[in-house]
Structures are given as structure tokens and as C-alpha cells.
């Protein structure tokens, strides 16, 4: 008796809906993701059991490396541009080209003396970080008793987002206390008495 052949039916699956979903998900993640830019220096923040969350927007972040050099950064390029314009208005001798300003605005954080800005910002962003990590923002008085550091903070405070700006300090665990104290004293001289201290979370040891 001959075998009965069963006719095999081809299975066809329409993948169009799945492709649409994948494209929508990809678009969603691209539009909502925040790309992390490299900071000027790497800082190992001290540990803390505090779980207070630091705001993510309108934050002026002050970074102090283990050698005591100070760097400043804002969370949006537009804010960086406003702060730069405010700083330039205080010093008529500071002149930057459009390309140099673009390089500045693209930085996650910066730390260079005013008299070195023009030379440093001629380089690409990656090279700028390598150059400025050996510099830092000076805290010596130059402009009517204000230091360059205070002038930058004042420029940020007088910008359009200044009324809602929060200050966050991120210092390395090995930073000398006297450096942090001097920097905080300069903030207090400007009546900036409220700020966040960025630390790494550690578990509280059991007694």
C-alpha cells in the first residue's frame, strides 16, 4: 500500500508590525536618552550613606580633583553659551572665534585660566580635556576683588536660568580640605550658601 503524502503548507508571517514596533522603540530611546560626555577630570567622590538625589537639570557642577584644581560644568550646551557670554562681558580683552566658542559649549566641564582659553580652545574636544586637566580655574582675585572662579559662577547666576540654578560640588576623596574650604568660602562670599555635595553611595555598616 502506498504512503499517503501530506501536503505541506507554507507558513507565512507578516513581519511588518514587528518592524514598526522596533523602529518606534529605537526612535523613543534615541530621543529620550541623555548622552554622557567625558568630564575634564575623573573624580573618585567620597562615600556617604545619604540617598538624597541631586537634580539633573539647571545644575552648575563644580568639580575639584585630587590636586585641588577646579572645573565647572553645566548640563546643557545652551547654558554653557549663556555663561560664556556673561563671562566675556566682564572681560573686554577675552576674544574667541566661533569655532572656539563651539568647542567650549561642547565641553561637559571646563577648567582653564582666562588667559589660556584662546590657545586651549583651538584644539578638538578630546585634546582640550587633556590640556585643561593640568590647569583648573584660578581662585585668585582679579576683577574688583572677584576671582575667575567667582566670575564664572556669577555669570551663570546672572543668566536666564540663574533663578532656578542649583550648585553641586563634586570633590575627590583625596582633595586637600583647605582647597575645598577655600572654594566654599568663595561661594559664601557671593551669598551662595546652598549646594549639593556629590558622593558615592555606600551601605551603612551593621552595628
**In percent, how much of the chain has pLDDT > 70?**
79
SS3 annotation, the chain: CCCCCCCCCCCCCCCHHHHHHHHHHHHHHHHHCCCCCCCCCCCCCCEECCCCCCCCCCEEEEEECCCCCEEEEECCHHHHHHHHHHHHCCCCCCCCCHHHHHHHHCCCCECCCHHHHHHHCCCCHHHHHHHHCCCCCCCCEEECCEEHHHHHHHHHHCCCCHHHCEEEEEECCCCCHHHHHHHHHHHHHCCCCCCEECCEECCCCCC
Residue-level pLDDT at 207: 44
Residue-level pLDDT at 170: 85
- Answer whether residue 80 shows pLDDT above 80: yes
Q: Span 136-149, mean pLDDT?
A: 79
In angstroms, the CA 115 to CA 10 distance is: 74
This prediction's pTM: 0.72
In angstroms, the CA 198 to CA 110 distance is: 18
- Answer whether residue 22 shows pLDDT above 70: yes
In angstroms, the CA 175 to CA 167 distance is: 19
| Beta bridge pairs of residue 71 | 63
Q: What is the largest CA-CA distance in the chain?
A: 109
Quick: pLDDT tens for 86-121. Answer: 888 888 778 888 888 888 888 888 888 888 888 888
Amino acid at each position: 500500500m502506498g504512503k499517503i503524502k501530506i501536503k505541506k503548507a507554507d507558513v507565512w508571517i507578516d513581519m511588518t508590525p514587528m518592524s514598526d514596533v522596533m523602529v518606534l522603540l529605537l526612535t523613543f530611546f534615541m530621543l529620550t536618552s541623555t548622552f554622557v560626555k567625558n568630564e575634564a577630570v575623573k573624580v573618585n567622590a567620597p562615600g556617604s550613606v545619604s540617598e538624597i538625589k541631586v537634580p539633573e537639570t539647571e545644575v552648575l557642577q563644580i568639580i575639584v580633583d585630587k590636586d585641588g584644581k577646579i572645573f565647572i560644568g553645566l548640563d546643557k550646551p545652551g547654558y554653557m553659551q549663556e555663561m560664556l557670554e556673561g563671562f566675556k562681558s566682564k572681560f573686554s580683552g577675552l576674544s574667541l572665534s566661533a569655532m572656539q566658542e563651539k568647542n567650549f559649549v561642547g565641553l561637559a566641564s571646563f577648567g582653564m585660566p582666562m588667559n589660556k582659553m584662546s590657545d586651549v580652545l583651538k584644539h578638538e574636544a578630546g585634546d582640550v580635556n587633556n590640556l585643561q586637566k593640568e590647569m583648573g580655574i584660578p581662585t585668585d582675585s582679579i576683577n574688583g576683588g572677584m576671582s575667575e572662579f567667582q566670575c564664572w559662577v556669577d555669570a551663570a547666576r546672572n543668566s536666564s536660568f540663574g533663578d532656578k540654578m542649583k550648585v553641586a560640588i563634586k570633590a575627590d576623596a583625596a582633595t586637600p580640605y583647605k582647597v575645598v574650604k577655600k572654594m566654599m568660602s568663595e561661594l559664601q562670599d557671593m551669598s551662595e550658601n546652598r549646594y549639593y555635595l556629590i558622593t558615592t553611595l555606600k551601605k551603612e555598616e551593621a552595628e
